[in-house]
Amino acid sequence: MITLKRIVKEYDGKQAGNKAVDGLDLEINKGEFVALLGPSGCGKTTTLMMLAGLLKPTSGEIYFSDKLMNHVEPKDRNIGMVFQSYALYPHLTVRENIAFPLRERKIPKLEAYERAKETSKILQIDHLLDRKPAQLSGGQQQRVAMARALSKNPEILLLDEPMSNLDARLKLDVRDEIRKIQRKLGVTTIIVTHDQEEALAISDRVAILNGGRIQQYAPPNELFNHPTNLFVASFLGNPPMNLVTGTLEEKSGNQVVVTNGFEYTLPEERKLNKLHIGKPVQFGIRPHDIAICEASDKQAIRMKVDLVEHLGSGKLVKVIDPQNKLETMIRLLTDNENEVSSRDNLHIKFKDAKFHLFDMTDN
Ligand code: ATP
């Protein structure tokens, strides 16, 4: 449905080489829900604006269903767009707002209003048709913006941080609703967000961007369980993955990650190519993949509790090695039953084969 080929965007006045989007390749299937996720300034909005036709790429090609779109005007792209600010027309009623894109296409008023009513039913705002935007709550305004974007049956729906003005609870409801409507209508949808939980929850695939480049493009599970580089590993996850610097060494036929605070023997099936031996590596382990264990456990690593945070559903425990040679704390998640408090000594172990390993010379 959508293909982006080697897209580059340099804004005027920026020095050559300073690219907002830097050689981006992306393919999106018909009916798919894709999120562009990344830190502030990574090029998400710029990419969305190019899809909308509101910005022109400096180079590269944009195709919708094999048709080159680079020079097609926004109004001829058959897209619906929802902005962060919703951008509703304050002097128009909800009905007139939703019907606006249809009226622009010269559809007669009565027919446009009838279609606006139909769309408003899908979004359950048909009782608000006579109100003005100022008489609506944030969540209702958001739905009107969605209805307006969907009223002309677009092939593609572009959402730019559409939930950032909603409170946490409403966000969850609206998120579910957007996904349901998207499935029902089968409209190919691209959402820009910096909220990783939102992106992972709502999307079929997520493109993680940094510095105008795609770091990884995959379904949420794949990104979380198999990050292909250090950026994705450290960006995804809350609390974030623990990362410890070490070296991969060979000891009595085993491959061992040697750090200043512990040694970890890789299981046979996760051994790396011998080329990595002697190289600096980052050993990564997520907080929920660390367990508190007995001192007698073969894999036990002695630690000291630095801080315990109560999260409601469990505890986040921050531990340091007794001599603080690691120079970094390790975060682990445990349930409320575990009696741990600051300055306790305890032993931890890494759950089987849950670690991630990154060769620093690859990055
Ligand atoms: P955010 O999450 O903060 O909205 P983003 O990932 O959407 O960020 P973009 O808005 O696409 O990022 O910006 C990408 C880069 O391009 C940034 O370095 C930004 O400063 C720059 N940029 C964006 N708009 C312009 C502009 N109109 N003129 C010059 N530079 C711009």
* Residue where one domain finishes, among candidates 177, 203, 235: 235
**What is the ipTM for the molecules in this complex?**
0.97
Query: Using CA atoms, how far apart are residues 206 and 199, in angstroms rounded to an integer?
Result: 7
Tell me the C-alpha to C-alpha distance, in Å, between residue 215 and each of 4, 79, 223, 265.
Answer: 15, 26, 10, 29
User: What domain range includes position 76?
Assistant: 2-235
CATH code at position 83? 3.40.50.300
Q: What is the pLDDT of residue 166?
A: 78
Question: Within this chain, do residues 145 and 35 fall inside the same structural domain, yes or no?
Answer: yes
Are 38 and 209 within 8 A, CB to CB? yes
C-beta 207 within 6 A of ligand 1: no
CATH code at position 272? 2.40.50.140
Strands (E), the chain: 2-9, 21-28, 33-37, 59-64, 67-68, 79-82, 156-160, 188-193, 205-210, 213-218, 242-251, 254-258, 263-265, 280-285, 290-293, 301-310, 315-320, 330-334, 345-350, 356-359
Distance 49 CA to ligand 1 centre (A): 11
Q: What is the pLDDT of residue 83?
A: 87
Q: Give pLDDT tens digits for 303-316.
A: 999 999 999 989 99
Nearest of 254, 261, 309, 250 to residue 285 by alpha carbon: 261
What number does the ligand 1 atom closest to the CA of 192 have? 7
Q: Give pLDDT tens digits for 176-190.
A: 888 988 998 899 999
Question: Within this chain, do residues 149 and 253 fall inside the same structural domain, yes or no?
Answer: no
Q: What is the pLDDT of residue 5?
A: 97
Nearest CA to ligand 1 atom 25: 11
* Residue where one domain finishes, among candidates 217, 235, 253: 235
12: tokens are 């005027």
Distance 87 CA to ligand 1 centre (A): 20
Q: What is the pLDDT of residue 362?
A: 56
Nearest CA to ligand 1 atom 15: 20
Question: Within this chain, do residues 113 and 8 fall inside the same structural domain, yes or no?
Answer: yes
Q: What is the pLDDT along the chain (363 residues), one digit of tens a residue?
A: 999 999 999 987 655 568 999 999 999 999 999 999 999 999 999 999 999 999 999 999 999 999 999 999 998 899 999 988 888 999 999 999 999 999 988 999 999 999 999 999 888 899 999 999 999 998 899 899 999 999 988 999 999 998 887 788 888 888 888 898 899 889 999 999 989 999 999 999 999 999 999 999 999 999 999 999 999 999 999 999 999 999 999 999 999 999 998 999 999 998 888 888 999 999 999 999 999 999 999 889 999 999 999 999 899 999 999 888 888 899 999 998 888 877 788 999 999 889 999 987 754
C-beta 7 within 6 A of ligand 1: no
Q: How many domains does the chain have?
A: 2
* Residue where one domain finishes, among candidates 179, 206, 235: 235
